[in-house]
Amino acid sequence: MEKTLEKILKEHEEKEGNLISILQGIQDTYGYIPHEAVHWFSKRLNIPASRFFGVITFYSQFHLNPRGKNIISVCCGTACHVKGGSKIVERLQRDLNLNSAGETTKDGEITLEVVRCVGACSIAPVVIVNNRVHPDMTAEDTSKLIKKFKKEKSYAGR
């Protein structure tokens, strides 16, 4: 781990106000922000760990716990909301056996997330599976997509 963190530090060191960029680097590498990484940076940069945690918990992009191998994000921006985005979330919660968005399935395969507008409002409602945007979705479409996805254990288009 130390080697990886050293590499992240090297990429960001020279700049003032690099804290958020460092955290983004950690998250890109690990998928979340491990506590050990925070403490390591805190020592190296002589910045209190509380400042790191303050920033981490302020921004919705940062996660302190590991997430699933696959991320399914349902957009619930205004346009997606009026076109049925919340119905998709409800359906996926049932299908994946989750109590609320933000949770990960027991096998660690899928994390369900709700996002606030990804700027694809003209093709609403959209569901994003591992960075691929699916336009004009319904609860039924999404359910089928996930079934297919689970069966194949790998994700390939709609």
By CB under 8 A, name the binding residues for another protein: 16-21, 23-24, 54-55, 58-62, 77-79, 81-83, 87, 90-91, 94, 115-124, 126, 131, 133-135, 138-140
Nearer to another protein, 99 or 122 (CB): 122
Q: Which two tokens stand for residue 157?
A: 């288009």
Beta strand pairing status for 127-129 and 110-115?
unpaired
Helix (H), strand (E) counts: the chain: 7, 4
Q: What minimum distance in Å lies between the beta carbon of 136 and another protein?
A: 9
Which residues have CB under 8 Å from 11's CB, separation 6+? 25
Nearer to another protein, 49 or 133 (CB): 133
Nearer to another protein, 4 or 57 (CB): 57
Q: Which two tokens stand for residue 80?
A: 């997606």
Q: By C-alpha distance, which of 105, 154, 155, 152 is closest to 127?
A: 155
Q: What minimum distance in Å lies between the beta carbon of 154 and another protein?
A: 18
Nearer to another protein, 35 or 132 (CB): 132
Q: What minimum distance in Å lies between the beta carbon of 151 and another protein?
A: 20
Nearer to another protein, 5 or 76 (CB): 76
Distance CA 148, CA 152 (A): 6
Q: What minimum distance in Å lies between the beta carbon of 44 and another protein?
A: 15
* Segment (H or E) for 22: helix 19-30
Q: What minimum distance in Å lies between the beta carbon of 88 and another protein?
A: 11
